[in-house]
Amino acid sequence: MWDTLVAAHDLGRLQTLVAILSRYGFGDLARRLGLVRVLARAGRVLPLGHLEELVNLPAHTRVRRAMEEMGPSFVKLGQVLATRVDLFPPDWIAEFSRLHSTVPPVPFEAIRAEMTQALGAEPEAVFAWIDPAPLAAGSIAQVHRAKLPQGRDVVAKVRRPGISPIVAADLRLLRYAARKIEARFVEARRFHPVEVVRQFAEALTDELNLASECRHADRVGAAFAGDDRILVPKVHWDYTNEHMNVQDFADGVPVADLPGLLAIGADRMQLARTGAQVVLKMVLEHGFFHADPHPGNILVLPGGRIALIDFGMVGRLSRQRREEVVCLLFGLVERDAQRVAETLLDWTQRSDIDEELLSADVDAFVDRYYGVPLGQLDLSAMLLDTMQILRRHGLVLPADLAMLVKVCLTLEGLGRLLDPGFDMASQARPFLRRAIAAQFGPAALARRGARTITDAANLIAALPRDLGKLMRSLKSGHARLRIDLDEVGEFSRQVAHSANRLAGSMVISALIVGSSIAMTVKGGPTFLGLPLFGLLGFVGASLLGIWLLSAIFRSGGGK
């Protein structure tokens, strides 16, 4: 059924993607996932020749360049992978981070048509002025400066023409590839590729809706209302929808433009402190944060005010998750390696880990940083060491925490760019103190104790009823025990394939026997002097036999 879907909808896109993979030396991966076979079955021929200068590049560089050529979905996938410091070493993360660069702009006439569709009128009839030269161009949308009839300077962000069907096809192909990877590569299952693609598809679909970005911006703006240090551009909802959004223009200097900051007289040390405090407040207090704080998304206005733009990628931390983060930090402070190891195991939800070895590694890690003055603590090095422990033990962080780690690393890098003496740990100290006090203070412990007592009372009260249900199920013989094992599932699929082939073989045998009997019957229609029905039976049996043999050899069963 999937092959039919590809042939009907995605064959051209599939051919483009496989050709790019092959050109960068990943043709074998495409073949192992069955993509080349799908194209061959559809009669498509691939240019599988490799370019020597490309194949000789490092693997992480080839992956990044292939993603750039494969288009917006894969650029966004690379940006998401850049947050997975728990899965990839630093050289891969650095390469994925380069995917934040801009892409060639779309001609204004094409953007103008998109604007007309989004606004229901020609853009010249809606805006007092619009600049045909793009202010910025990304993989999803393009930004143009404009002026409202009231004279307000704004930016109009417009979705790139024709991007929706491309993204839809890419997501279908990614889901198929994830299922194949999970089924064929046992070592990849711990990364949960199907679930990763599902989360990525939800995030990308949300990002395609440009109104969602504005809802995120409004939420952050409301959280910092009254804080004169921060500006989140106002959204003009009368002009905003799924295809386009309009926000106030923030006329600022990118935070990494040091000569530009000098020109406007910005205090770089104060900027570093303010930026850290803003992000830490979003993360630890609000649980909703800007997840893509690269230099292009942070502008500095005259007077030192910081403007945050582009909320297409955001992170969320539930209250429980924030409490777990505080618990981990508390374990580090108290030199409690067991508490830290248990928190990491709870996050990864794996039971096949050598807990003693993990505790030993965490203990060595804690010793390395124990007693280091806060002013000398290198938070980036500490986080990277933590990620190295995770990779060594095959542990995978939840997506929200991986995104948080990446934000902290990016934030400290920007802080030290502005101020070489910047100390992220010192900025985090008051937030952590408040969080620890809120979690372990007398009032918090009393609330937690009361909740525990209430839960225990409810459990005891429900126990007789639940035991009664269990006894009735046992007496009636309706009690069931369900066990899910991946190995059993894979074995059952293999048995099902074998049963299907056996059934096909029996059908072929029956056709041969029946055709042989039909050949001996006198009378009836003939062809070339042979009974027609018997001949048709033999031809059908031959075709089915050829198909069955080819299926066996394609799946490796003929080896």
Supply the residues annotated as catalytic.
Answer: 292
CA distances from 430 to 285, 288, 324, 333, 361 (A): 12, 19, 18, 14, 29
- Cα–chain center distance at 364: 32
In the chain, what is the straight-line distance between the N-terminal and C-terminal CA atoms, in Å? Answer: 27
CA distances from 285 to 214, 281, 316, 318, 329 (A): 21, 5, 11, 10, 16
What type of residue sits at position 156? Answer: A
Phi, psi values for residue 550, rounded to 5°: -65, -35
Please give the structure tokens belonging to residue 518. 């039909």
CA distances from 558 to 459, 503, 553, 554 (A): 57, 18, 5, 8
Rounded to 5°, angle at Cα 501 from 495 and 502 = 85
- Cα–chain center distance at 470: 42
- How far is Cα 75 from Cα 543, in angstroms, rounded to an integer? 45
Q: What is the three-state SS of 164-197?
A: HHHHHHHHHHHHHHHHHHHHHCHHHHHHCHHHHH
Residue written as token pair 């404009």:
146
E strand or H helix that includes residue 7: none
Can you name the residues that pair with 156 across neighbouring β-strands?
144, 246
CA 409, 334, 397, 359 dihedral sign is: positive
How many CB atoms neighbour CB 8 within 10 A? 8
Rounded to 5°, angle at Cα 471 from 465 and 472 = 90
Please give the structure tokens belonging to residue 452. 């525990």
Calculate the dihedral angle through the C-alpha atoms of 383, 388, 394, 400, rounding to the nearest 10 degrees.
20
Burial class (CB in 10 A: 0-12, 13-18, 19+), 205: middle
Q: Helix (H, G, I), strand (E, B), or coil: what is residue 231? A: strand
Q: What is the three-state SS of 407-450?
A: HHHHHHHHHHHHCCCCCHHHHHHHHHHHHHHHHHCHHHHHHHHH
How many CB atoms neighbour CB 221 within 10 A? 19
Q: Is there a contact between 407 and 414 (Cβ–Cβ < 8 Å)?
A: no
Q: Give the strand order in the sheet containing 253-254.
A: 230-231, 306-308, 298-300, 253-254
Closest C-alpha to 3, from 44, 38, 46: 38
Instruction: Give 271's Cβ-side CA count (13 Å radius).
Output: 32
